[in-house]
Structure 1
Amino acid sequence: MEKNQALFSLKWKMALWVGGVFFILHSFFSYALYANAKNSFFAERERIQSSHLSRVKILTEDSFLALRHFTDVVISVGSSVNHKVEDQPPNVSVIDKNWLPWQMEWQLDNITLFDKQGSTVRSWGSQIPVPDLIIKEVLEKSAAVQTVYCKKSCFQQLITPVGTQALAGVVSTARSFADIITDYKRGSGSDMTMLMTNTDAVYAKNHHWPYAVATENLSENNLPVFEFIATHYPISNFINRRKMIALSGGFFDVSLIPVQQQNTANLSNTAYFLLIDDISADFKRLQDEALRIWLYGVFDLAVLLALVMWVLRGWLRRLNNVSEAFPLLQQYQYDAFSKRLTRNKNRYGHDELTNLDHTLLAVVKQLKNSEQAVHANTCELMEKSQYLAKERDFIHHLIEVAPVIIVTQKLNGIILSINQAGVNGFEADRLSIVGKVFDVFLPETDREHSKKLNELRLGQGDEQFQISGFLMTKAGKQKETSWSHTIVRVNGSLDEAVVLTLGIDISVSKITQEKLLKMATYDYVTGLSNRRKFEEDFVLELASAKRYGYQIALFYLDLDKFKLINDTEGREAGDKVLTQVATVLKEAMRLTDLLSRVGGDEFALIMPHADLNGVEHMAQKINRVLLAHDIYIAGKTYKMTASIGVAIFPEHGLVTSELLKNADCAMYQAKAAGHGQYRIFSPDSDYQDKLNLMLHWREIIEDAIANDKFILYYQPIRNLKSNVISHFECLIRLQKEDGELIMPADFINHAEELGLAGRIDRLVLKKVVQKHMELNQQGKDYKLTINLSGRLFNDVTIFDDISWLIRDRNVDPGKIIFEIAETAIVSNFAAADRLIAQINELGCLIAFDNFGVGFSSVYYLNRFPIAYVKIDGSFIRKIDKSDDDKVFVKALSGVAQAYGKKTVAESVESEEALEILKEIGIDFVQGFYIGAPAPLD
């Protein structure tokens, strides 16, 4: 609404509309009632007027009848009287004698006698002439004639023939209309007079009617009425009919009645009764009644409108409150708008305005949610835009730092761009390369390469090919290179296409392959062959022993107290222990023996051509030389021993797995006997000893589960970019009654054999989720990492338990990270694939542990929805001392980040290692240098 536009309230609009409509309807119906009452009034007046007319006619006829009776009396009396006076009819004397009484009794004004010739004999009373024509007519027809004579007054005349002996002639009797008028006025209450012909020239000049009012009894108030109608209306409007005349605020019923229908040629004496009835009071009363009814209706309407406006006042106040609240929506103040609407209290129950309030509140809620969604989408769009910008910069950076030559060239061979690896490979500066033809950097001997490249540029054959060739550097040096050329079309047009060229220095890759192969078969810490190499060598040795028929002794060694040193002093100290132990063991063994590191602190020794004495001697020698060697860690001296289990081929097994199992069983027997012991596998004692061991651990583990003796330690993981702790890895410990901690490696294998590992896993998961909720309540934004073991992949109910915990409304799934080792995935790929997908659908994150150890690690990066990759600690511990480790970790980081994965470096034990990892671009670091596992308050 414009600011200068006046507000016209709905209340007044409704009042005007409703009042106007009701006023019009009321006026219409009041007028209809008035018209109906008026018609009834006029009908009644018509009836009354008819009654008056009938009364006038009756009075007139009665008056003529009285004259007739009188004439009959006069004639009869005259006939019975003796004639005494000569030449004087007997009637004359009778009339003379009786004139005065007869005049009074019969109200006579004139008696006139005529002879047979129509001459006047004698006349009594007023002189009222009788036209000769009428006398002649009476004599000729011998029939009485009634006529009216008007001069100044009007008289009834009865002219009667007399045919008696006493009198032969005509008798005329006359009486005034005054008595008739008086009787009429007295009986009807109305006014009446006579109209008589007036032929006066002056009168005719001033009046429309040729009639004048007789002097008899007309009220002075009614004279103006006659003057008015005589001036404004023709006389025909009133003869034998009534007409209402309004004059000077009064209302009059007026009508004319011919006194007598003229049957003679003499019309000069035509007269009319003029009836005037003043109905002003009655008509005014009718109008006043109609006006009173109308005013009552208007008053009722005003009261009704007042009540309506009073009711509307509350409703419109609610509507006004809504309209005044709408500007808040323009300001996006949804909460204030909702609060304003909740003020609309309805005291009279639920109605349409309540529905409107509820609807508006629902709409505002939707608008608020929509705005939040739009804001969230906008933020997400901005984040994605920033992410895309980062991705673009990352791709550009990736191209620049990628250890692959990347060149783009036109179809004519002119180089458009080259990355840093290409500049380094070409051994020239970028300006001297860009703009040159690519072919000049190919040796002349590489004709096959040049031929296929030209065919590709001309669009002949496939749009991509690979070839092994050479790169001619600026200094003339030839490098063996694997080339890949691909046509890249811009907008689908070959005219705008470019050639994407990738080149890899094959010599470098061969060296790297050799290093990777060595890493895959040898332990990086000790330099001994790893488990894979050990199994391969053992298989070959068993085949030789079977062929040549000699015995082989398999020693399975587990270092005592190593886990305590590793957990308390750190992994770097643990690696030093392993290196020194490996050196001591290599000194104790024969040249034909094979020593391998097959686990964390576990070693395997293959002793060909062994006998029982040699086996026992070797077992005793191992612990002897270990005890004789002092190990120095962080200013402390440690003595190491090993629990040794021995299985002999073919006595204790014929295949690798059987011998390993029996040697492992013997090792557990030796460990149960105490530190620095050895046992040779014995089928007779193995079962009972193992059973006792299992019963011992069952009691410990079940007691720990029942009494909640498992506790969590948390090792911090630092974000290298922000230099703050971002999350923690959750590590389980079993706490004994005396407070001593038992490490997972000491009890978890027994738990698996006893079928209790699943219960422990669920207990750990529950504790992690509880800790997560505690941290959220404290406002600490940390992620927690759970190690997901491979044994859970075959547990069909584990996901239901995970889902039940994660879907709690107080849990943020994005802050829970499940770590999965490559070996766990390889052992059961299908089950791992399914469980990882289910966990990802919950919104939890996945971390890939021990990255870089296996050949399939890169494949898993693309195969699974992994958020973090944890580079194995074996590549980190000596990264500050080994260039190979540095190159390899950089390559692993580049591959992981190329797939959009965050990298975590484990086993960071020094400031030097931390600085190198920052240079490489590692995202997160973890290790004893960052923080040892500890309870988290």
Structure 2
Amino acid sequence: MKQGTSEKITQLNKLTHRESSKFASLKWKISLLSSVILLVVVTIFSVINYKSLIDSIDQQGELQYLRYGREVEKLIEQIKQDSHQLIRMIPFLKGMDVALIAQDDKQITEAFEHHWPLLQLQDGIEAVRFYDQFNQLLVGWDSFEADSYRETLILEHVRQVNLQEQPANPLICVESCIQYTIEPLLIEGIRAGTIVIGASLTDVFLGFKRTFGSDIGLLLKENTYSAKDHDVWFPDWEMRLAALTNRERNLKILNHAIKTHPDPLSLKQGIQTERNKRYYRVKLLPLQGVSAADQAHLVVITDITATIEAIHNSTWRIVIIGLIGLIFSEILLFAILSGPLSRLKHIVFTLPLLAGGSFSIFRATLSSIERKQWLKDEINLLYEAAVTLSHKLENLEDKVVYRTKQLVQQRDELSKEKDFIAHLLDTAQVIVLTQNVYGKIIMLNAYGEMLMRYTEEEISGKPFLEILSPDSEQYNLSQYLEEMRLGRREQLKHETITLCNDGSKRHIVWLHSRLAWQSAEEPSVLSVGLDITEYKRVEGHLAWLADHDPLTNLYNRRRFSEELEQIMSWSERYQHHGALLFFDLDRFKYINDTSGHQAGDTLLKMIADMLTQTIRSADVTGRLGGDEFAVILPEITASGAIEVAKKIIARLNETQLTVNGRTYKIAASIGIALFPEHGKNVHDLLAAADLAMYQAKEIGRGTWHLFSNDDQTRERMYTLVHWKEKIEYANLYDKYLLYFQPIMSLRDRSVTHYEVLLRMSDKDGTIHLPAAFIAAAEHTGLIHEIDHMVLRKAIEQSAKINKSGNRIRLSINLSAHAFNDPELLPVIRHELTYYNVDPTLFMFEITETAALDNLPGTRNLLREIKELGCGFVLDDFGVGFSSFYYLRELPVDAVKIDGSFVRNLASNPADQILVKALCSVARGFGKKITAEFVENEEVLALLEKMEVDFAQGYHVGKPCSANEAFRSLLP
């Protein structure tokens, strides 16, 4: 027995030794992992800290430059005011009033000459000139050389002042920038000419330097002044330096900056440069008030060395402290873990013996390695528990497994309950805080800290009312909260704007509940806040969307109608006239279909931008839906409205859209209606403008038409608009129905062929025939959409009825505009492929007159349709005998004799002769023949004698729905 135990121990030692060659100690894994984590944390924190500091400096710099600009404007304004005060004082100088009234240059010189040096010295005046009322210079004093460009600018302003009798304050930058004040002189009610005073900007630069401590200079463009020998010229920036504080040092900084930033755009945005281990920020500020020809700029140079060095030092301190902490933590962690983990390793390597049921060997092995400790730790407890466990496993192994499972389950449930209770407040997406009896905050949950940017330490002890915005208070909240703390009120609910610690504001709905206990240290009021900021923002956005088209940002139909109604009321009250322009885009659906809806959206945005730039600021523009736009022109005549319409058409003609190599020209037809002449309410005026637009389309697309009550086409246009609305409604809500009329083969009197007929269902349930709405669809450009819809529905229906192996053929009518539809064939191909139906089961019909109107297009369409495998039928055959020749040219499979020749065939010998001739011609060209409008047996018998192939009419069968026609064929 002892020998067997010894052998097992030896095997265990061998196993342990063999496995140890692949063993990686836990202490090394923990040390390595903790090192990597700490290193990553230190790196991320350093980068984030450096980035945030740099961003903070940039933001503060932008604010500082805004203050710079305002201060410069304030200093220049002060110069203007000082010059104005000086001008008001000059007439009161001794002898000046008499000299100015007399317009005598000698008297003015004598009276003013001794004042000129004093003005130069004390007030920084660079120029004083006196002009008469005819813009002639009487006398002048200047401290700089004469320049023709400056003289021209001054004289132009003098003319304006004399003409308008209003002062002017031009800032003219030639050799340097001079702020001129030009005012008319009025002495005792008598015009005494015009005075010009020019003051330099030296005080501006000095005042700026005193205020901010930053250096400032003046840069002028090349074309403002011919360069002097003493000027500093920056060729890359195309600027010269006219003035600069601390010139010697800052000139070196500017020369260094131009080497690193030759692009003047970067100077306007602000650049940072380094020289002699010091950092400077250089930025151009526009000098307000200078004409475009002058182009002068202020350059501000700020020393930011201290800030940059502080950022670098802060970053390096973080890195060094982090690395020292990392090294110290690893050494300490390694020292702590070495001993316990070594003991733990021995126990772990012994534990596998339990899995094999070697409980006695397990205890013997543990006894050999376990040593008595003066102070027990977790490893000793683990040893004792392992020994105890081995005894229990040895006797009750099955029971222990079961109990272990139960304990694990119970432990997980208890842990979940504990975590739920512990983290309930922190995970709830509401602000939870408590107040004491004095209204001061005691506790704030984690969500509240995150939302309000407070830590619990920062907000603890802060009065609750201080975190609320005073602007949002609508009642005495303080009094109500006091009543709650005193027990007079149990709950309080209110909505208010809450101030966050970062300066932001949030809309919060607060619910305060009084707690039962009362203590200065313990909570007295529980406050729960729900953040509704996003709801408020969405609410505001929805309010905007209620009035605007989100694609073009123009008014939508509802808001546009309200604006039109308001303008019409105002026009009626004040007897002003106005106009309404209504237009849609020609061939917009073609662009949408060929290049996609994204191209269509781009086009609509271009049109909206064009309208905004073309019309007056008082005009109102709206997108009424799809490609329909309207413009309200208040206070305008008919001729003025026509000019606006012409301008819009011209701008549209200049506009083009290029998508995927395709270039589309834009055109529109504009209808003009005047108010109140053409309508005294919104509905009538819109209808009049809509009628005028269709009249413009009738004249020729890409033009305009002014509505007239005397138009002979008014009724026809009204009908067109009426059916257009019905067609658009039917397209939108799929109110079209397909009826099927059987076509009988006269050879065996069987029906395997049906003609597809279109019907429209109205809102009141009325069923309309195609004759009622097809013409309107063709005029409004909606016919292609109807053609595509009929094709899809018919091919889908064919797939259903022929699913069981039937061979029912369908004959589908095409409109006269099918030849101009580039999407027709792609639709047919797609539907045939999608439903996997036989193309030979389909015939397409088109009227003879439509086919002959566009013979080349007809020939191409027939050829492409027959290549798909489909057949083609020439409808209304025989209407014109001149078409017999073209029957040979068109690759049709069959002809359908017009019903006007068949209806009275039995009683009209002339019709019999005509039908025989038509049949003879058709058979001569090898075409099948179908006769329509067969309404009795007598006509059917005559057609059989004439060897007509097929018959169609009420005698054969009336049109009916698919459920009735194919009841026995549908699954």
TM-score interval (norm. to shorter):
0.3 to 0.5
Q: Which has the larger radius of gyration?
A: 1
TM-score by length of 2: 0.32
TM-score by length of 1: 0.33
